[in-house]
Amino acid sequence: MDGFTAAIYDRLASDGTLTALLATYAGEPAVFTTDPAPGDADLPYIVSAGQVSDAAYDTKTTQGREVRRDVRCYASCDGSAATVEAIAERVRALLHRHALTIAGYDTWISECSGPISADEEEAYGRVVSLRLIAMESEDGS
């Protein structure tokens, strides 16, 4: 898993408030970095796989990246979207204005938009979109 994926996964999967809202899969919180999620995964879960966009964000003296990533949250269609909304709001709280630990980079900007509705036939869905600007670390760590 690349540094950006690992940083997002680590932030989400290490939060007890969020993981209490999620199912487990193979003994871990149901936060998936592959798309689609495994077919035998139980709801509720999160999918955050791959960038929506990944562009250079260089200055005269530094190199960086502007990454946009969707974090998709799903819960069972049980007559209330309260669970998926709680999950999405927690995801937003964890990622918005939080400096992620990304190998080889320093976080400059981390901001979220949403959640927006992305309901499916058999699951309620919400999407939180993350915009992340990270500059290469001078020390490479």
pTM above 0.85, yes or no: yes
Q: How many domains does the chain have?
A: 1
pLDDT band, residue 139 (cuts 50/70/90)? low
CATH number of the domain that 11 lies in? 3.30.2000.30
The number of beta carbons lying within 10 Å of the beta carbon of residue 29 is 21
Which residue, 101, 89, 10, 85, is CA-closest to 48? Answer: 10
Q: Is residue 50 part of a domain?
A: yes
Q: Is residue 110 part of a domain?
A: yes
* Furthest CA-CA distance within the chain: 54
* Residue pLDDT, tens place only, 77-99: 988 899 999 999 999 999 999 98
Tell me, what's the pLDDT at 33?
A: 93
Place of tokens 């400096």: 99
- Mean pLDDT score, 22-42: 94
State what percent of residues in the chain have pLDDT above 90. Answer: 60
Cα–Cα distances in angstroms (integers) from residue 136 to residues 57, 65, 101, 139, in the given order: 10, 8, 12, 9
Q: Is residue 141 part of a domain?
A: no
Tell me, what's the pLDDT at 10?
A: 93
The residue range of the domain holding 64 is 3-136
Which of the 8 DSSP states describes residue 103?
A: T
Residue 85 identity? E
Which residue, 60, 66, 48, 57, is CA-closest to 8? Answer: 48
Which of the 8 DSSP states describes residue 96?
A: T
Please give the Cα distance from 9 to 57 (Å, whole number): 23
Please give the Cα distance from 50 to 116 (Å, whole number): 19
For residue 59, is pLDDT > 90?
no
Q: Is residue 111 part of a domain?
A: yes
Tell me, what's the pLDDT at 105?
A: 85
Report the chain's mean pLDDT, rounded to a whole number. Answer: 90
Q: Is residue 80 part of a domain?
A: yes
